[in-house]
Amino acid sequence: MIPVIGLLIGVLVGIVIDPTVPLWMQPYLPIAVIAALDAVFGAIRANLEDVFDDKIFISSFASNVLIAALIVFLGDQLGVGSQLSTGVVVVLAMRIFANSAAIRRNLFDRK
Amino acid sequence: MKKKAKVSSKIALKTPQSRKYVVIILTVLLGVFITIAVKQNSKPELLTSVREDELVLILDDLTNQKDDLEVELIKQNQILESLKNGSSDAARKAAQDRIDQLILLSGTAPVSGRGIQVLLTGELYSVNSFTILDTVQELRDAGAVAIEINGIRIINSTFFTDTTEGISINLSKVRSPYKISVLGDPETLATALKIPGGMAEVVTTSGGTVIINELAALDIDSSVPLTTLQYAVPVD
């Protein structure tokens, strides 16, 4: 529950203060968001399976974001940035779908 | 922002209580990220989110366009200069060229050049005013610059009507055989008449004959008198 409230607060803060992103960071932001969402879905799934560990969540959040940004950065340097970022988004989206399927199954099993 | 999260997580991971705070901080951060990303995406200035290689492509396009336009500008400037400075010569030449073109098109003077000569024979049911009109239109589509039929110059106001013995062009009667002289690229003109379903086929299948001669030199001696402008005047 607390993470959901945190998310809502974050959205509100973003709307209110309206920060501008530095130019170099702009291509990485959408990727970072998707990567972080993947970590969040993983955490929800773990929570429902009663194996949630905040240490794992924190590390997966940070590493997901960093690795995704790193891959895109590397792709930009190699000249295949757009393709690689598409690849990263596809993989992360697949993971999110897999996690949400697990979450769904878990919710049904509880009843 | 990301780095900060990483560093703080290292320190905060030690106690379970602080870990909870870190989780909350991370979710708040995610919320902020999402709103920023959505806002950034809905901004109208599209170029800020375009990748480097795509920007290079756009830039290349624009550079090429600019180069083309610059060349065009230089050409136009040269023309302008020559018209200004060379005063009489260049301007007079341009005007003379234009007059020559107009004479050719309006049919007010005899002309000569390459072209074809077509000999059309046939009774009224195979060659009539419609046939002649179609022929003239096909020839014009093929780039004919001057057309003459049995000594009568065909211009844009020429009209064809059927009579009992043949046709009349501008109210003067002409009969088969019709001798059509056309100036233009001989090959193109001949092809235009000979294409399947074209004039030659229509006339021959209905009993007429068509003979087409491609000529390297051809004279069109007839002309029409220059008419005085009555209903319209040119705009400068």
Q: What is the CATH number of the domain that holds B183?
A: 3.30.70.1880
Q: Say what the pLDDT of residue B43 is.
A: 60
pLDDT for B44: 56
Distance CA A57, CA B204 (A): 90
Q: What is the ipTM of this complex?
A: 0.75
Which residue carries 């009555």 as its tokens? B230
How high is the pLDDT of residue B4? 47
Structure tokens at B197: 């379903």
The residue ranges of every structural domain in chain A are: 27-110
Chain A residues contacting B via beta carbons under 8 Å: 2-4, 6-15, 18-19, 21, 23, 26-27, 29-30, 32-33, 36-37, 40, 54-55, 57-59, 61-62, 65-66, 69, 76, 79, 81-82
Q: Are residues B130 and B181 in the same domain?
A: yes
For the segment A5-47, what is each residue's pLDDT rounded down to a tens digit?
Answer: 888 888 888 888 777 777 777 778 888 889 988 988 888 888 8
- CA B107 vs. chain centroid, Å, equals 24
Domain that holds residue B210: 111-220
Whether B53 sits inside 8 A of A8 (CB atoms) is no
Q: Please report whether residue B230 resides in a domain.
A: no
Tokens read off for B25: 């901080």
Q: Look up residue A85 and give its amino acid.
A: S
Write down the pLDDT at residue B157. 82
Q: Measured between alpha carbons, how far is residue A86 from residues A28, A78, B40, B41, B54 in Å?
A: 12, 15, 18, 16, 15
Written as six digits, the tokens of A70 are 């790193």
Residue partners of B162: CB distance under 8 A and separation at least 6: B124, B128, B129, B168
For A63-103, the pLDDT digits (tens) are: 988 998 888 888 888 888 788 888 899 999 999 999 999 98
Residue B187 lies in a domain: yes
CA distance A109 to chain B (A): 27
Which amino acid appears at position B89 of this protein?
Answer: D
Whether B205 and B162 share a structural domain: yes
Average pLDDT, 10 consecutive residues per value, chain B (236 residues): 48 69 83 81 64 83 92 90 73 81 81 90 84 89 90 87 86 86 91 86 87 90 79 77
Residue of B nearest to A18 (CA): B36
Is A58 close to B19, i.e. CB distance below 8 A? yes
| Dihedral over alpha carbons B171, B122, B131, B172 (to 10 degrees) | -10
Helix H or strand E segment including B194: helix B186-194
- Scan residues 13-42 of B and list those with Cβ closer than 8 Å to A: 13, 16, 19-20, 22-37, 39-41
Q: What is the CA radius of gyration of chain B?
A: 37
Query: How would you classify the pairing of strands B172-174 and B209-220?
Result: unpaired
